[in-house]
C-alpha cells in the first residue's frame, strides 16, 4: 500500500470583537484539506496527516524517518515551519535542516508534491518563502522573488495540455478556479495542465531517482470552490498523481 504524508492545511484565527467601550477575543481552529484527504482515503492509500502545528514538531528529521513514506504532499505550509523549530527559534540551538533532508529523500527515490496556497511556493507577501531553500532545488518549477499570487475572483479555467498517467480519464477542461500561483516550469519539466493564458497549473518532473509535482492552485477554499473539489476529475487526478509520485 502506498504510504502518503500530507503536511499543512490548518490555521487558527484570532478575532477581536469590539462593542463600544469593551472588547474581547475569540480563537478558532480550522483545517482545509478535507477534499484532498477524502480523495486519498477513497483511493485506498495509507495516509498520515500532519496539520501545520503538528508538522512543526513531528515532520521527519532524517532520511530514515522519511523512508516510512512513499509520497510527501505539502499544502499551504510555509518554509519557516520546517526551518524554525522551537529548538532553534527559542533556544538558539543547531538543528537539522528538514528541507535539505526532504530534498535528499526525493533525489534518492521519494515522491514530492507541493500544492498551492497562501503559504505555498512564495505565497502571500512572499512569506511561504521556498525560493532559495534546498527544497526549491527539486521542485519542477522556478519560483518568483515576491508575492506570486494571481487572484481571479471572476474564475479561470484550466485545460489539459497533453496525455499523462496523472490525467488519464480526466476531462479536457476543468471547472473554474478562483486563483493560483505564478511559476515557470524548469527546462526538463512537463506541463500537464494550464490556464487559458498558458500559465501552468500542473507540472511534473523526475529528479534523480525520485519524482516531483507542482500544483499552482489550492485544494480547498478559497481558490478551489466546491464545484471544483466535487468534480470527479479532482479525485481521479489526485489519486493518479500520488500513484505516479510513488513510482507505481
**Calpha distance 136→154 (Å, rounded):** 31
Joined together, the cell numbers standing for residue 168 give 488519464
Residues 102-111 have pLDDT tens digits of 999 999 999 9
Sort 148 into a burial class: Cβ within 10 Å, 0-12 / 13-18 / 19+.
buried
**Calpha distance 163→107 (Å, rounded):** 25
66 three-class SS? helix
Q: Residue 217 in contact with residue 179, Cβ under 8 Å?
A: yes
Q: In the prediction, which pLDDT does 237 show?
A: 98
Q: In the prediction, which pLDDT does 57 show?
A: 96
Radius of gyration of the chain from Cα atoms? 18
Residues 41-97 have pLDDT tens digits of 999 999 999 999 999 999 999 999 999 999 999 999 999 999 999 999 999 999 999
226 three-class SS? helix
Q: In the prediction, which pLDDT does 197 show?
A: 86
203 three-class SS? strand
Neighbour-count burial for 27-45, b at 16+ CB within 10 Å, e otherwise:
eeeeebbebbbebbeebeb
Residues 52-62 have pLDDT tens digits of 999 999 999 99
The H-or-E segment that residue 103 falls in is helix 98-107
Q: What distance, in Å, lies between the first and last C-alpha atoms of the chain?
A: 10
Q: In the prediction, which pLDDT does 1 show?
A: 92
**Calpha distance 50→168 (Å, rounded):** 29
**Calpha distance 165→163 (Å, rounded):** 7
pLDDT exceeding 70 applies to what percent of the chain? 100
The ranges of the chain with pLDDT < 70 are none
Region of 48 (left: φ > 0; alpha: ψ -120 to 50; beta: rest) is beta
Amino acid at each position: 500500500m502506498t504510504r502518503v504524508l500530507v503536511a499543512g492545511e490548518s490555521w487558527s484565527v484570532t478575532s477581536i470583537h469590539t462593542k463600544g467601550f469593551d472588547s474581547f477575543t475569540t480563537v478558532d481552529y480550522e483545517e482545509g484539506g478535507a477534499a484532498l484527504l477524502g480523495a486519498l482515503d477513497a483511493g485506498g492509500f495509507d495516509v498520515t496527516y500532519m496539520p501545520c502545528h503538528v508538522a512543526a514538531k513531528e515532520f521527519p528529521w532524517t532520511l530514515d524517518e522519511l523512508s516510512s513514506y512513499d509520497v510527501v504532499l505539502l499544502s499551504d505550509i510555509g518554509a519557516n515551519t520546517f526551518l524554525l523549530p522551537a529548538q532553534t527559534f527559542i533556544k538558539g540551538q543547531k538543528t537539522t535542516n528538514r528541507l535539505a533532508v526532504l530534498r535528499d529523500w526525493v533525489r534518492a527515490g521519494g515522491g514530492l508534491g507541493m500544492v498551492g496556497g497562501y503559504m505555498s511556493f512564495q505565497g502571500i507577501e512572499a512569506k511561504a518563502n521556498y525560493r532559495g531553500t534546498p527544497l526549491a532545488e527539486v521542485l519542477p518549477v522556478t519560483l518568483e522573488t515576491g508575492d506570486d499570487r494571481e487572484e481571479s475572483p471572476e474564475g479561470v479555467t484550466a485545460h489539459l495540455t497533453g496525455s499523462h498517467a496523472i490525467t488519464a480519464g480526466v476531462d479536457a477542461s476543468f471547472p473554474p478556479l478562483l486563483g493560483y500561483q505564478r511559476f515557470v516550469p524548469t527546462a526538463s519539466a512537463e506541463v500537464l495542465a494550464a490556464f487559458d493564458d498558458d500559465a501552468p497549473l500542473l507540472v511534473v518532473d523526475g529528479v534523480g531517482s525520485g519524482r516531483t509535482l507542482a500544483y499552482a492552485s489550492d485544494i480547498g477554499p478559497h481558490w478551489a470552490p466546491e464545484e471544483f473539489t466535487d468534480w470527479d476529475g479532482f479525485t481521479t487526478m489526485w489519486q493518479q498523481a500520488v500513484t505516479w509520485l510513488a513510482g507505481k
